Structure formats: structure tokens, C-alpha cells
Amino acid sequence: MHKFNPLAATLIITAATAAVGAVCFIRPEMALATIIVYLSTIIFLPILLAILAWTQKNKTSSLIKPEVAENLNTEMIIWSDDFSYVFINKKLRTLLGISENEANKKPAVWKAFGINAPDSKGFEKIVGSKSYETRFKNADGTITSIAWSTSLVKKSKKKCLYLSTGFNLTEIKKMKVNLASANDFFNSSMELAEIGIIISTDGKKYIASSELIRMLGLKNNSISLGDFRALVHPNDRIAFDSAIKSCSSEIKSIEMRIKSADSGYHWYSYRYKSIKGTENTLPLFGGALLDSTQEHEKDALIERLAYIDEVTEIANRNKLMNAGQEIYDTCRLLNYSYWIIVLDIDRFHIINDTCGYTNGNFVLRNFAHILYKFVTPGGLAARISGDNFALILRDYGSDELPVRTVKSIQDEFSKLAVDELSSINLSCSAGYSRMPEDGDSFLEVIEHAEFALKSSGGSQSSISGYESSMHDSIIVRSELEKSLALALDNNELSLFYQPKIELSTGRLMGVEALIRWIKPDGTIVSPDDFVPIAERSHLIGRISEFVLNEGCRQNVLWQKMGFPKIVMSINFTSTDFYQTDLKEKVFEALAKTGLDPRWLEVELTESLALNDIDFAVSQMNKLRELGVKLAMDDFGTGYSSLSYLQTLPITLLKLDRSFITDIEHDNIAYEIVSAVIRIAKSKKIETIAEGIENSVQESILRMAGCDYAQGFLYGKPMPPEKLQQFFEQNLNGFNKIR
């Protein structure tokens, strides 16, 4: 379609006028006709053109009213494919920066579509597309994007008329960029914080954040509730189910293990809540997952440090007391019953002292291991302290269970193979009680099991059940322990001395130092009543040190007073004897007091020596190296074997009082005593008889060839001042003291 163009019209008219002028000049006969045609053309052509233009204008206006299109708040072009008609509205004109005049020409259309050299392909792209996108650089450098939607509005044989409406994408793009960066920001924040998010709008299908996908190794961001639950550790599923059920507007949290990207279970803190839907939004369920494995590992370590015994790796005392009280409470609540067995390794101090801590720990670990094997569901094995252990067993109605279990433990323990301990019999003792009957709390029940253990008085491999009568004797004993410790502090212990006589001459050859506890009120406590207690409460070390030093000091004092030199005998318990620094302690006492070692004798019982024969021999040799004498006390009471006389480096054999008491009437006792004396003599070991109370016994022993005698016949154990009188009375020539 062509529009009326005044310049073209003027040119055409000028050209036509010139042509008419030329005709009139060349052919004057045709001048009139030519002028008539010219004038009629000049007059009618513009009218014709105006009519044509008016018609065209009205045709287009019938498609869309220009004033409407002009003021529409969206970019718009109406154009014909031959560009004879182009209309660009104000919004687009402003965007393109073109005047109204330029707006109805072909270049404006191409500019609007962002095409420089249009070809058929470009044209097809524009007309065939519902969102043909064009980008414009604005004056301020920003970019505007328009998506064109072009529709064919009229088609005739010659041309097609199109309407292209623009949709400004700039804002949407901005929003998209903002959204994307918000999403990126969210994802990177979650990634940095290592927080996974899981959200659902219906509680069935969940959407996982990219961080959660990474954490759990999910295939994509969509996961069903069932699939998510399957990843939760079976033991935590109940907690998970209740979290799902209890999801409310309040933030709650649980700890659960979830199978993670590395295929292992990790601990997660799951903070969750639900958000109610509104008119415009859907309800949301879900929460945030934070990997808390490290915290759990730390907690487990702390728990381990707090509740696991380092040496044996079984429960420690703390754990025992906590778990024990829980079990006790359950017993009360559900009418259950449990046994609590307290076990003690017999003579463990000897193992520790003789074989070193490494072997000691080895024994403890193995003992714990044996105990652990006897734990039944709901029970517990624990190390209370040192060589003290506990076993909690469910009571299924058999009163034999504790004894049976302990016997099996003893059996296994005795078979424990330890090279260094081959000569030591490994055994343990036990006391047991039942809860809840045997106490008002777990503490009381376990204390009562300990009472039962102590009631055996330290004998090996003992097994005792708690009886209410034990309570009082144990209380008495523990009171005694306390007052013995005080007595030591208050110097209430002193030594009495009992004379030892040479049978051939009757002279005083030595004394045995025997300890006495003299209370402030003057009552004297026998060593038989407090030495075993001292041994168990570990006060024995202090007591023995006192005896050793005091005995040496007293002997030197008598020597300095001019009395004849005699041998001072002191008694050692197994605890003292197996101390690794025994030699040093004795040497120190000798050095400190200035006593010549040959005036000191150490008495050991045979059962003590036989506990660990090899170590005993090495200890004895060390004492012998110092020049100290060694006596075997109470010979004949234990597992006496004369063959040991060959092995043990002893200098004196003390025949036990039990052989002497009835020797004058008991032929067998006489025969035994005579044989022992003979054999000892053949080994160059001297002999002494204990408990001589009358002269008949004295004569028999002298006849049997016994070297020395000790007993009430010569004198009871007496304080040092009294022994001085004894000395003085017998000073002259060491005559027979009777």
C-alpha cells in the first residue's frame, strides 16, 4: 500500500508540467488537448489519491483503533509484509528512540525485531513464533528484552497484515536473576553451614535441598516419606515416626542416625516444624538436618572416659553405680530380682609386686574378660577398683546361680596361662547378695555383697552369700580398721620380746619381736586380732616398717648397754615379703640403726614362701646377701614338704607349737619332730621348737637334737624393760636361765 507523498506529487506535477510545456513547444497543434488532459490530471489525481488513502486508512482502523494501539502500555507493531503499511505505537517508539515520522517505515520494523539484514528465514522466525525475543540496549546501557508475539490478522492475494505485540521480559528476567541468586545464596549458605533442608507440602512427597542431596547421596531432590524413613537407622525409626506425627508450628528437634552418602550411618540433629497454608500458600512440613556425628563421637568418648575402665575396658565403678541403681529401681517396679556378685582376685598385690604392673594388668584384663562372658541380658560386668570386680546377673529363681557362676569363673581363671605367673595359683573370692531384698538401695546391696566377701576373712577361693548377721561383724571390723589407723598415728603399737634359749647351754640366744597394740586404757590387743586386718587394709606396710626399725633399734640399744649380743627375730607377712624393695628396706633399717645384719633374723611362714616359690627364693637370697638370717616359722602347719628345705635358703626351722603341745604323749608327733630335726641338721639348718611350756617337752626336744627353744617355760613375750631384767638376771656366764 502506498501513502500520499507530497514531495513525490510535487516532482510528478513539475515533471508533468515540463512535459506539457515541451509538447506545446514541439507540437503546437496538440497544445490545447495536452493542456486539457494535464489540468484535469492535476485536479483529479490528488482527489483520487486522497480517496485511496482514506479508504486504506479506514481499512486498517477497522482492525485496531490507532488511538487504542497508540496508548497501549505494551509495545505494538502493525505491519504488512510488503511494508506498505507500518504502525508502531508510542510505547515502542519511545523504546526504539524513533520519531512518529520514522515509525511507519520498514527500517523501524526491522529495528523493532532487532534484525539488520532481513532474509526469509528471519522473517519466518518472526511470524512463526509466539515469543520471538529481541534485546535492546537502552541509552543508559541497560538491556531491555522484548518477547514478540506475531499474528496474522489479514491476508489478501498480494500481502499479509501482521500484528506484533511485545512483552517486556526485562522485569521478569530481573526477577529470575534475583530468584536465581537468592536460590544460589540459599544453597551456598546451606552448603557452608552444612545444613540440609527437606520440605513437603503434603507430608508424603518431600523436596530435598541440594546440600541434603549431597549429604545423603540422594539421586534427585524428590523423595517419598517412605524412602526417607528407610534411610533412618532402624533403632531411630520410632523417634522419626513420632517426629513426623508431632510436627506442629512449634520448632522441635530429635537426634537420629540416617544412612548417608558414604553408605554409613551419620548422626543428624533434625529441627522440624510445620507452617500452615494460607489462601495463597500451601502448608509446609519439614525441617533442617545438621550432621552431628562428631558431637556424638565426642559424647561417646566422654561417656567412654566417664564410664569405661581404662585397663580392662569393661564398665567402671561410675557405670556400675548408675546402671546398678537403675536395675534396682526396675526390680522394685516390676518385681524382678538380680544377683550382685563382688569378686576379688586373691593375693593380687603379690602378682603386681612380683611380676610387675604389665603382668598385673594382663591378669586384670583377662579376669574382666572372663567375667564379661558370664554377663546375661540386662546384666553388667564392672571393675570397681584395683582387683575388685562386680557382676550383676538376672535371678531366674535358682539360688545356686551365684555359687555356680563364681565356680566357673574360678575354674577359667585358674587356667589362665601367664608365663611369668606359672608358679602362682590364680584364684578369686566372691561375696554376693540379692536385690532388691538385701538392701534399701543399690549402694546398700553392693555393700552387703562386699560384707559377704570380707566375711571369709581373706581365705582363698571363698564364696559367701550375704546374711544379715554379717552386718554387725563387718561393722566391728571396719571400726577396728579405722581405730588401728589412728593407733598407728598415736604410737599405740609397741614391741614385746620373747626369749629364745640355746637348749645345750640354756643361754639366751635371741628374742622374737611380737607386736602389741596397747590401747590408752591399758588393754592389750593380740596381733592375731589386728595383723590380718592390717593386711587387708594395707596398713601392714607401716606396721612392718615400724617393727623392722624398732626391733633393730632396740637390739643395738641392748648391745650398747653392754648386754650380750643376741639375734632379733621379726615377723613378715606375705605382703611385706613380696615387696620388690624388701632388700632396700631391710638394708636401710640396718644402716640407720647400725645393727650388724647377723643379729637380725626374718621369720617367714611356709605358706607365704610357697605362694610363689621362685620369687620367694630370690627374695630370700637377697636378704641372705645382706647377711640377715632366715627362719621358717610355724613349720609343719601348711603344705610342708621336707623337699623345700633343699630349695629355700633358710638358716633356721621353727617347729610349730602344735607338734610340741602334746609331744610327751604323742609318739607320732615325736617321730615327726625327730625326723625333721635330723633332716634339717643334714642340710645344715638349725632348729627351734616353739611353745615349750614344761621341762618334759624341753628334755624330749634336747634329746631329739633340737638346737633352740622358745616358750612360756622361759618367758612370755614381754616389754623391753622386763627383758632387760631378764638379761641382768642371766648375765653371768649365760647359765641356764631356770
Which member of 1, 401, 547, 582 binds ligand C2E (CB under 6 A)? 547
Report helix, strand or coil for 687: strand
List the grid coordinates of 111: 529495528
Cβ at position 686, least distance to Mg ion in Å: 15
Distance CA 300, CA 292 (A): 12
Full DSSP string of 364-402:
HHHHHHHHHHT--TT-EEEEEETTEEEEEEE--S-TTHH
Q: Tell me how many degrees the CA angle 612-613-614 measures, rounded to the nearest 5.
A: 100
Segment contacting Mg ion (CB under 5 A): 534-542, 565-573, 575-583, 594-602? 565-573
Size of the site for ligand C2E (CB under 6 A): 23
Distance CA 269, CA 316 (A): 30
Nearer residue to ligand C2E within complex by CB, 463 or 650: 650
Instruction: Tell me if 531 contacts ligand C2E by CB under 6 A.
Output: yes
List the grid coordinates of 614: 621362685
Contacts of 121-124 with CB under 8 Å at 24 or more apart are 123/81
Segment contacting Mg ion (CB under 5 A): 109-117, 242-250, 455-463, 596-604? 596-604
Q: Tell me how many degrees the CA angle 303-305-310 measures, rounded to the nearest 5.
A: 135
Nearer residue to ligand C2E within complex by CB, 447 or 576: 576
Residues 685-704 that bind ligand C2E (CB under 6 A): 690-693
- H-helix or E-strand spanning residue 579: none
Nearer residue to ligand C2E within complex by CB, 435 or 513: 513
Distance CA 498, CA 718 (A): 6
List the grid coordinates of 491: 604410737
HEC states along 127-187?
Answer: HHCCCEEEEEECCCCCEEEEEEEEEEEEECCCCEEEEEEEEECHHHHHHHHHHHHHHHHHH
Instruction: Give every CB contact of residue 352 below 8 A, 6+ residues apart in sequence.
Output: 360
Instruction: Tell me if 607 contacts ligand C2E by CB under 6 A.
Output: no
**x/- letters, 454..493, toward ligand C2E (CB under 6 A):** ----------------------------------------
Q: Which does 693 bind (CB under 5 to 8 A by kind): Mg ion, ligand C2E, none?
A: ligand C2E
Size of the site for Mg ion (CB under 5 A): 4
List the grid coordinates of 456: 571369709
Cβ at position 445, least distance to Mg ion in Å: 41
Segment contacting Mg ion (CB under 5 A): 172-180, 234-242, 284-292, 563-571? 563-571
Q: Which does 236 bind (CB under 5 to 8 A by kind): Mg ion, ligand C2E, none?
A: none
Which member of 112, 216, 391, 515 binds ligand C2E (CB under 6 A)? 515
Q: Which does 547 bind (CB under 5 to 8 A by kind): ligand C2E, Mg ion, none?
A: ligand C2E
Which residue, 350, 351, 379, is CA-closest to 366? 351
Q: Which does 611 bind (CB under 5 to 8 A by kind): Mg ion, ligand C2E, none?
A: none
Distance CA 601, CA 510 (A): 9
Nearer residue to Mg ion within complex by CB, 550 or 633: 633
Nearer residue to ligand C2E within complex by CB, 211 or 690: 690
Segment contacting ligand C2E (CB under 6 A): 250-258, 406-414, 510-518, 698-706? 510-518
Instruction: Tell me if 573 contacts Mg ion by CB under 5 A.
Output: no
**x/- letters, 562..581, toward ligand C2E (CB under 6 A):** ---------xxx--------
Cβ at position 719, least distance to ligand C2E in Å: 13
Instruction: Give every CB contact of residue 37 below 8 A, 6+ residues apart in sequence.
Output: none
Handedness of CA 703, 704, 705, 707 (dihedral sign): negative
**x/- letters, 115..154, toward Mg ion (CB under 5 A):** ----------------------------------------
Cβ at position 569, least distance to Mg ion in Å: 7
Distance CA 501, CA 510 (A): 7
Which member of 55, 253, 526, 694 binds ligand C2E (CB under 6 A)? 526
Name the residue type at position 253.
S
Segment contacting ligand C2E (CB under 6 A): 163-171, 299-307, 339-347, 711-719? 711-719
Residues 627-656 that bind Mg ion (CB under 5 A): 633-634
Which member of 29, 119, 262, 528 binds ligand C2E (CB under 6 A)? 528
Instruction: Tell me if 523 contacts ligand C2E by CB under 6 A.
Output: no
Segment contacting ligand C2E (CB under 6 A): 160-168, 357-365, 500-508, 705-713? 705-713
Instruction: Tell me if 514 contacts ligand C2E by CB under 6 A.
Output: yes
- H-helix or E-strand spanning residue 242: helix 237-245
Instruction: Give every CB contact of residue 695 below 8 A, 6+ residues apart in sequence.
Output: 713, 738
Instruction: Tell me if 711 contacts ligand C2E by CB under 6 A.
Output: yes
Name the residue type at position 653.
L
Distance CA 219, CA 226 (A): 15
Q: Tell me how many degrees the CA angle 633-638-644 measures, rounded to the nearest 5.
A: 75
Cβ at position 495, least distance to ligand C2E in Å: 7
Which member of 571, 573, 593, 611 binds Mg ion (CB under 5 A)? 571
Instruction: Tell me if 636 contacts ligand C2E by CB under 6 A.
Output: no
φ and ψ at 632, to 5 degrees? -95, 110
Residues that bind ligand C2E (CB under 6 A): 498, 513-515, 526-528, 531, 547, 571-573, 603, 633-634, 690-693, 710-712, 717
Residues that bind Mg ion (CB under 5 A): 571, 603, 633-634
